[in-house]
Amino acid sequence: MKHFKLFAIMAFICAAFNANAQSINNYYLYSYNHSLFNPAAAGYENKHIVSLLGRSEDRQSIYDYNSGILNYEGNIKSINSGIGAIVMVGKIRNVTGSKVGVSYNYQMRVNDRVKVRVGARPTLNSLRGNNKDSLGNSPSYFKDPDTHGNLDLGVWLDVYGFYGGISVENTFQRKDYWSYSPWRQYNLIVGRKIKIASFLQTDPSIAFNSNPIRNTFFISNNFLIKKWVFLGATYGKSFDSNPDMVRFNVGLNILDKVEVITHLYSSWENTGFPKAVGYTTFEGMIRVKI
């Protein structure tokens, strides 16, 4: 009954969100929520966690993004398994995309310091909206509405104090998709939590994301100060015409039960127009540990 209530609450809340189907996953907060990108990471913290993320990008009226993600993950120790559920919904101009999935992973314990999780997340993806004028009267690139299934796969490791994993999202990429495609993308994450002093913990990590149009490398480090203040930064290097980006975040850890993390930043991106377009982004996340 407890899990049923959690899923019912998630389904209700997700109706309030709009997001862009192709950039729903935000790598600049990846270090706080690994199960967003890897179904095998669900439950690795050995707690039940509900996360709510929101993102808004103002791209000077060319095309704005508004996105939301609701994520649940938990660990079932009695059967060495992790479970999860995710709802992503969003909008870019008049095109709305969504992704709903449930995940399961099984943990294999080699010894006390080496653990391996293997997981999968079947998903249902949907695109809706009259897209003929969504990018300056562009021709239609998908049927409306379009709903189909897909699959995310992943492996997660906890090895001698290091954590990390590799995953593939949207394994069965559709050949008829273009701009709004739920692209197949590959993710690699490696990190380690280090206790520097009784009042200071750090969590350095690196990540790599690859999809059909962009390959990006990330370096991130988050500090937890006196067990209640988060301070962090992420550097992103895109191997294309986009410039390097740096993001900063700040947050609170309330009684080790609720984490509230947010940042506001401006950045630049080469959009293919005559000149680069500047945009301002607000992003926030709430994680509740049950």
Whole-number Å distance between alpha carbons of 215 and 187: 10
Whether 279 and 41 have beta carbons less than 8 Å apart is answered as no
When divided into structural domains, the chain yields a total of 1
43 Rama class: left (phi>0) / alpha (psi -120 to 50) / beta: left
C-alpha closest to that of 283 among 98, 34, 38, 65: 65
Above 50 in pLDDT, residue 16?
no
Kindly state whether residue 63 falls inside one of the protein's structural domains: yes
For residue 211, name the pLDDT band (cuts at 50, 70, 90): confident
Q: Is 244 domain-assigned?
A: no
Has residue 60 been placed in a domain?
yes
Q: Domain containing 41 — which CATH number?
A: 2.40.160
> Taking the CB of residue 88, how many other CB atoms lie within 10 A of it?
26
pTM for the structure as a whole? 0.80
- Residue 220 in any domain: the answer is no
- CA distances for 153 relative to 70, 94, 225, 235, angstroms: 19, 31, 34, 26
Kindly report, residue by residue over 70-79, the tens digit of the pLDDT: 999 999 999 9
Averaged pLDDT, 161-172: 92
Provide the domain limits for residue 71. Answer: 2-171+255-289
DSSP of 85-104, one letter per residue? EEEEEEEETTEEEEEEEEEE
